[in-house]
Amino acid sequence: MNSTELRAALDQALTFAVYVLGNRTDALDVVRFAVDSIPVNAEQVTREVLLRLVRDTIARRGTRARPVEETLPAVWSGEETRNLPPDLEDDPARTAALAGALRRVCFTAVLRSIAETPRCAFVLRHVLGLPDETVSQILRTNSGNLATLRARARLPLERRLGPHCEHFDPGNPCNCRGRLGLALAEGSLRETDVEPATDPAPTCTGELERLYRTLPKYTLTDEEAEPLLALLRQPAPRKPV
């Protein structure tokens, strides 16, 4: 792969790790470890190889399923709501960005409530949009087992979001605008959470796969990417004569 393709593959690996692990710091550490473990030069590295190494690193470290109640502040899932502060009422663009961050944190927390391997399968297929054949290669499984993994992921997602989330069903009681005022008031949503700042509002009633495809992709900064690209560009060691 050339440098542009390598950079894109690294960004995809970061996105995968963020949505499986739940936070960018741990995800970046896993991507760095995966890149450092590649024993060949960049010409032999593929996107699938990099994603498989990230997945294997996650599996070795272990990332247990965590109940949503452990990862979301209580006010995000209760019945209370609060109006937006006046400055946000007058700033629809900023409100949309903050609501996108709220959505991303919430959807990621729900993902974390799923067992690790089904979670990986769901993220690879429905957040990254990879074809089933590629996902099977990354997870080292067959198509029949992959279908089972995806079903195991879908059921708890539907149970959690189906009766609550406005994006799953506009008639549901939980809406981002009402939660946003609470999250800002109690400090559980910070300015630093708004990245990327333009999450699209989902319009895919009842379709979990499309709902999760609206989640934004993460990208490495130049400062983060350069050391990883330098490692990948290293020539393969010469064989002894």
- Could you read off the pLDDT of 195-219 as tens digits, one per residue? 554 556 666 666 788 888 888 889 9
DSSP assignment of 49-105, as one string?
Answer: HHHHHHHHHHHHH------HHHHS-GGGTSS---PPPHHHHT-HHHHHHHHHHHHHH
Mean pLDDT of the region 107-131: 93
Look at the block and give the residue holding tokens 């979001």.
161
Among candidate residues 143, 87, 150, 90, the one with its CA nearest the CA of residue 122: 150
176 vs 50 pLDDT, higher one:
50
Rounded Cα distance, 76 and 187, in Å: 12
Among candidate residues 145, 149, 161, 195, the one with its CA nearest the CA of residue 76: 161
Mean pLDDT of the region 21-49: 85
Mean pLDDT of the region 13-17: 96
For residue range 58-85, list pLDDT tens digits in order.
Answer: 999 888 888 888 887 776 766 677 777 7
Mean pLDDT of the region 191-198: 55
Instruction: Label residue 184 by pLDDT band (50, 70, 90).
Output: confident
Number of residues written out for the chain? 241
Rounded Cα distance, 193 and 191, in Å: 5
